A and B are shown apart, each in its own frame.
Chain A
Amino acid sequence: MSEEILQFLPFKSFVNSSFWHKLAELKIDVLKLSDTPETVHGFYSSFQAKSHLLEVDYSAFNSEFTPPKNCFPVQGTIYNKNTIEEFKNCNKVDLVNLEGQKFIEDLKNGKVLKDPWLLFRFFILSFADLKCHKYYYWFGFPCPMSPTFTKNTNTISLKECEELSEDSVLEAFNGIPEKSFFVLTKTEGHWIGKALADYNGEPDVYFCFCDPVEVGLEQPSWLLRLYAYFLMKTYPALHSKSVKFLGLRFSSTSDISSSLIWNLVLPGDSKSPEEEIKFVGWETNQNCKMGPRIASMADSMDPAKLAENSVNLNLKLMKWRLLPDLNLDVIAQQKCLLFGAGTLGCGVARNLLSWGFKNITLVDSGKVSFSNPVRQSLYKHEDALSGKQMKATTAADRLKEINPSAVTKGYVMQIPMPGHAVGDSMRETITKDLETIEELVKNHDVIFLLTDSRESRWLPTMLGAFYKKIVINAALGFDSYLVMRHGSSRKENEASGETDYGDLKCVNGQNLACYFCNDVTAPGDSMKDRTLDQQCTVTRPGVSNIASSYAVELLVALLQHPLRENAPAYFQLTEKKVKTSVPEGILGIIPHSIRGMLCNYENILPAAMKFNQCVACSEKVLAEFGQTHFEFLFKAFESSKYLEDLTGISQYEDLENDIIECSDSDF
């Protein structure tokens, strides 16, 4: 008879990568800054067990956990820290003792007796470096340090056991609901399975458990250690008695011949109840040292998916502390149509990607030329070399290169303009283009006007108003810029013009002006009689970057407002400080327009009402388009005068005689 101390095989953690993905998702979207311990579940199997593994996967965080087939559930806790320092500085002794105490609690209050699977629990101390997709983690399987257990007789296999047959054990196993830990007792010559709770202290029983150890190893798993401790605590009658344990190891569903039987002497409970119980159970790392492990997911992830996650990470982090109410879904859903793929178009498109916009369509008729790449951030010198690369399609491709999950498309097309007459030969082509443009406007949510002339902004302005889209307009001067949102044509209520708001004036979103509302000239051919410097975008390079950033930020602020494009704009009449502050959305104020200049680094935020005779957004114009459609458009392209006549701005009577002009010397 040997009197040797029984060695137990500690559990090894096996973390499926899906577990980390789920943790990352939870951390970013739900837990955020919270580092309270969360319940998780793992599982183990004694069915063709390779090694004593405890596995966790994506299902670990489910509130209703169901282990995979032939596996047994394990309850655990994850302590996911917010910083690597917290992870490192966490007191490991305290943590394992804290977790061990939970086990003792469950023993004392009878939970384990009722649900024996609670015998075994684990915990994870972790830190998720979500930026680098690295996970630092350390598993623990708490177990009281003492007592040690000694073997009474040699370990034998089930095959060698005379009183038990494999069939009777299998029969008992299959007949019992709680299979992870149960008792085999002999009743009237038959072996039957019993739940632990039904065990009444009868002698000559086998305490069975499913042992997740591969066939051939003589040591039992860690489970036996916990099992023995549980029996020692629960059944004082067994103290100093020889107790038989049957560890079931399945080679197949019907083959348990390799299962082992250990015969232990259960020691008496030497400890007084007051004495503090010490726990062990931290897992060793890959180098068999006490220390954490690191899982790096970056290599195993699809790069496109990785990029998408990372893009979203930076946005989602805003929600942790700064903007918990930020709605990122609404941003990802918007489809943006950009007219113009020049300096503004490139800048706006890139800023849209930064904010997590996914759908971007560009319309431009130009080719990439040598002067473009230095200012237009989506092009390269190479694109200009061939002389054939079209801006719209090149830009769309580049956006996908930057973010592969973006849905982008480029349309090479001239925007028909008022004052640019369409000859008969071109009428068919232009009609087709108009159909495409109209269809594009209909299918998008947001229209950006980023072209390089006033007249090319007319058609998209009019269509945007007609189809009730959000229209964001950005335009540049030499050292000045204008960024504005067009007034909404989505009628929600009977809106009055300006209303007083404390010391401020408030203009309802439905009454805000469009780009054309502040002049009395219909757009026309502005390239006529112009020198080269007057035709090209001659601007200080910074203005386009500033304007494109403002344009996208204005859109994002607008999208976060419950009224969207109907959000009111406020302005004050005097420069004096007033008591009333402008009402803010979650991203601050939402101005109607931003006019800024680089010469003094100043912005003003004027808000103005619609002009009821506007050549682009007034009722008359929209009604005429509604009635005669393209016929109206061709009339407008034929001559700017047509729009001026239609809106009546050309019919102002000559008021010259009523105006009195004074010289300074007059006074």
Chain B
Amino acid sequence: MISIDSSYSYNKMKYTNRCDINSNLTHFMTSGQKKLQDKEPIKSDEACAIRVLYPTKVPVIVERYNNESDLPTLNKKKFLVPQEITMSQFLTIIKKRLEIGPTKALFLLINSRTLAPLSKTLAEIYGEHRNTDGFLYITYSSQEVFG
């Protein structure tokens, strides 16, 4: 695991031409490419910086659903995730970090409204769902199981 050194304080970095970064981004996207072009350009300096520094990773914010009581919260919520991994792999990683029992079921919601299709790659999801601030927002929540 790579932890980011505090010297990478991106908000101190200056970007004069944000458009370049956005066109750069488009270049790196694989299957989400077309969608990204439709989208508004990334507005946050932070996400732009991340995309430039880690062109093969997507910035994701993972939060616990605000009404969730059973699942623990994550220590850290910002991740840079390899764009080629699938949502199922990403879910495995999150579950590992939550340190929950093997039978506990949960589900991921993108932007609090879309169910994450586990067969898709992060790049695809990012292309379709990223926020205008350049981050992909994902919440996790316990799967309903009772009858």
Contact = CB atoms under 8 A, between A and B. Distances in A.
Given A340-B147, A659-B80, A513 B117 contact: yes
Contacts of A661: 1, 3-4, 76, 78-80
Contacts of B57: 658, 660
A613 B144 CA distance: 21
Given A521-B102, A667-B9, A454 B147 contact: no
Nearest to A478: B69
Interface string A637-659: 00010000000010010011111
A461 interface: no
Interface in B1-54: 1-4, 6, 8-11, 46, 54
A451 B103 contact: no
Interface in B73-107: 76, 78-82, 85, 88-89, 91-93, 95-96, 101-107
B1 A573 contact: no
Interface stretch (A239-247, A292-300, A599-607): A599-607
A393 to B, nearest CB: 18
Interface in B105-133: 105-109, 111-120, 128-129
B145 A454 contact: yes
A662 B76 CA distance: 7
Contacts of B78: 661-664, 666
Interface stretch (A170-178, A206-214, A316-324, A342-350): A342-350
Contacts of B113: 575, 604, 606
A520 B128 contact: no
A608, A610, A657 — most chain B CB neighbours (10 Å): A608
Contacts of A342: 147
A454 B76 CA distance: 29
Nearest to B53: A660
B101 A529 contact: yes
B125 to A, nearest CB: 10
A455 B89 CA distance: 22
A664 B75 CA distance: 11
Interface residues of A, number: 70
Given A518-B108, A661-B1, A655 B117 contact: no
A390 B89 CA distance: 43
Given A609-B119, A659-B93, A519 B80 contact: no
A532 to B, nearest CB: 14
A604 B2 CA distance: 36
Interface stretch (A6-14, A89-97, A142-150, A479-487): A479-487
B4, B106, B129 — most chain A CB neighbours (10 Å): B4
Contacts of B116: 518, 608
A611 interface: yes
Nearest to A530: B101
A652 B92 contact: yes
A661 B90 CA distance: 13
A66 interface: no
Range, interface on chain B: 35 or more
Nearest to A474: B147
Interface string B49-72: 000001001000000000101100
A660 B93 contact: no
Contact of B8 (A525, A529, A604, A666): A666
A652 B128 contact: no
Given A520-B95, A611-B88, A658 B147 contact: no
Nearest to A573: B128
A577 to B, nearest CB: 14
A82 B120 CA distance: 58
A603 to B, nearest CB: 11
A573 B129 contact: yes
A544, A574, A613 — most chain B CB neighbours (10 Å): A574
Contact of B146 (A477, A607, A652, A662): A477
Contacts of B115: 513, 518, 593, 606-608
Nearest to A476: B146
Given A518-B108, A519-B106, A609 B117 contact: yes
B144 A521 contact: no
18 contacts: A454-B103, A454-B105, A476-B145, A476-B146, A519-B143, A520-B92, A525-B103, A574-B111, A599-B67, A608-B117, A611-B88, A611-B118, A612-B119, A655-B85, A657-B2, A659-B1, A660-B79, A660-B81
Interface of B: 1-4, 6, 8-11, 46, 54, 57, 67, 69-70, 76, 78-82, 85, 88-89, 91-93, 95-96, 101-109, 111-120, 128-129, 142-147
